[in-house]
Amino acid sequence: MSMEKYISDILKIGIPSILGLFSTVLAYIFGRKKQIDEIKIKKNFEYAQRIASELQEVHDGYERLVRVWEENFAHMPFHKAIEVFEKHADMYDNEKYYIQQLVKKEEQLEKLYKESLIFLKTSFRKELKQYLELSKFVYHHDSLGLFNNYYEKFFENLNKKKEKRRLLFNELEKNFNKLI
């Protein structure tokens, strides 16, 4: 067999084999990418639904407590209002319960936020993180029960940040449509 015939046979068999292998690899890569994209879209949708539900509950909790404050304490100076709240603690057991429930809901929302980081859009993540940061405040207690300014700092935070919380919530609500 001559060298030209040998090269011709190799090219006849080799080129289609290489092209076939190349097309198989490309089909696998694009098929895999499509599967990954479908999973991301599904997860994004699931997280968006869960976050929307949790966020709505948290925001409703804040709005409820803002109404309680405005109806019961807004007419008093702040420190007097806190004094009344703490002095008549048994009268405000429901409000304390709602504050505890709100804190639990926020913890769930923050956990959900952390789980969903790789699936959510950056702009939405930033706004949600800002919303969650609005609920953070520092309080002090002595572990003996003699000093604890938790409720004072909670209501201070609630009143100072209510407008910003509302604005961010409205922005987040608008952005949910873009997520889904």
Task: State the DSSP string of 120-161.
Answer: S-HHHHHHHHHHHHTT-----B-SSSS-B-HHHHHHHHHHHS
Average pLDDT rounded to a whole number, residues 35-51: 82
- Residue 16 in any domain: the answer is no
Task: Note the pLDDT of residue 179.
Answer: 64
- Residue 22 in any domain: the answer is no
Residue 10 has pLDDT above 80, yes or no: no
Task: Note the pLDDT of residue 28.
Answer: 66
Task: Note the pLDDT of residue 163.
Answer: 95
Task: Note the pLDDT of residue 89.
Answer: 81
Rounded to whole angstroms, how far apart are CA atoms 103 and 121?
A: 26
- Residue 101 in any domain: the answer is yes
Q: What percent of the chain is predicted at pLDDT more than 90?
A: 48
Average pLDDT rounded to a whole number, residues 113-142: 88
- Residue 145 in any domain: the answer is yes
- Residue 149 in any domain: the answer is yes
Task: Note the pLDDT of residue 100.
Answer: 93
- Residue 161 in any domain: the answer is yes
